[in-house]
Homo-oligomer: A and B are copies of this chain.
Amino acid sequence: MLRDVAVVGVGQTSFGEHWERSFRDLFVTAGVRALEDAGVGGDEIDAMYGGNMSAGQFIRQEHVAALIADYAGLATEGVPATRVEAADASGGLAFRQAVLDVASGASDVVVASGVEKMTDLGNDETNDALAGSADREWEVFGGGNVAALYAMIAGAHMDRHGTTRRELSEVAVKNHEHATENEYAQYTNEITAELVESTPYVSEPLRAFDCSPASDGAAAVVVVPAERADDYSDKPVYVEATQQGSDSLTVHDRRDITTLEATKRAAERAYEDANVAPGDVDLAEVHDSYTVGEILAVEDLGFAEKGEGGSFIVDGHGSVDGRTPVNPSGGLKACGHPLGATGVRQVVDATRQLRGEAGTQVEDASVAVTQNVGGTGGTAVVNVLSDRRSS
């Protein structure tokens, strides 16, 4: 990129069931917190991006970036407001587009946000909307909703690589443990593997507690040119890389369903841009919409060999005091997963870690990776963030 970019402000709502709050309220709360954190006034904002998967289906509202810009008082200032969407990687895209906007020289101060209001529909309608992240014609009409597709992936991973039911459970157990100190998490209670395995099947082998919940919430970050970062923050966080990969939308078109090629492609480019190796990464916020997703992420990001993601977790390498702490925030399982908000929330949590301000803090964290996946892996965004400016 032609210009380096830094994160100078972060904010989010708590994630959960916000019956009393509207879509626009959630955004404004997160946005104001990010602006306050950066010490930026509304009149300094040059552009904003909003990640959102499916307000059209959840609240029958499109044009949502304009909506939230309006409600935040930015629209009448003429601030360009752009919604981006790639299912539950929408937040990752919003962050990446904000970075590209600053890198292009078109804008200096840009807000990247993500927001989703999922709880206004009943369960069946919510699940049907969620299925829009998969290929409606070729997967969903045949019965392949997102949970069923991830169950196929999990089953194949168990079959080919010996991953066990207990290893899946331990992902959820670890993430709940990490979330106990996260004031924004939907669940801050600890759970046991036995509890996970006593919950009903959603789609065998995946049980209810393998799945991230339906959530309402929003997150926002402020990005600026790296050379101006010190004007806004004592602890700027530098965007060493932001890459986006893709793969076939349908699971059945993939060569190997136990690998998310979209993650691998984005990660390879991101590590190259940032000039780091997986072993240099101090922590990762990854996309565990289903527990098996975290095992895939651990492998596809290079923290463990293919097939060893499960034992990596069970052996504690992904715990806060482990070799490469994974989801010290609690991940999607415990933080909650308001689809379009998650990719931005990951950047918020990575920034807190690199500043040394996280609830469950990783010691001496200097390099963080975030990985955000759309649906079953048609899209993935991988960012490398650092507390030091390398380039």
Contact = CB atoms under 8 A, between A and B. Distances in A.
Interface stretch (A103-111, A155-163, A168-176, A209-217): A103-111
Main secondary structure of the interface of A (DSSP, over half): mixed
Contacts of A195: none
Contacts of A79: 246
A339 to B, nearest CB: 9
Contacts of A246: 66, 69-70, 74-75, 78-81
Given A62-B133, A70-B248, A133-B62, A78 B378 contact: no
A87 interface: yes
Nearest to A246: B75
A39 to B, nearest CB: 24
- In the complex, the count of this chain's copies comes to 2
Interface string A345-386: 000000000000000000000000000001100110000000
Interface stretch (A93-101, A227-235, A287-295, A301-309): A93-101
Contacts of A76: 247-248, 253, 261
A250 interface: yes
Interface residues of A, number: 67
A164 interface: no
B82 A62 contact: no
B85 A85 contact: yes
A142 B101 CA distance: 37
Nearest to A50: B85
A151 interface: no
Given A100-B104, A248-B76, A379 B54 contact: no
Contacts of A106: 1, 100, 103
14 contacts: A1-B104, A2-B104, A54-B62, A57-B60, A61-B137, A63-B379, A67-B135, A70-B253, A75-B247, A75-B248, A76-B261, A82-B84, A83-B85, A101-B104
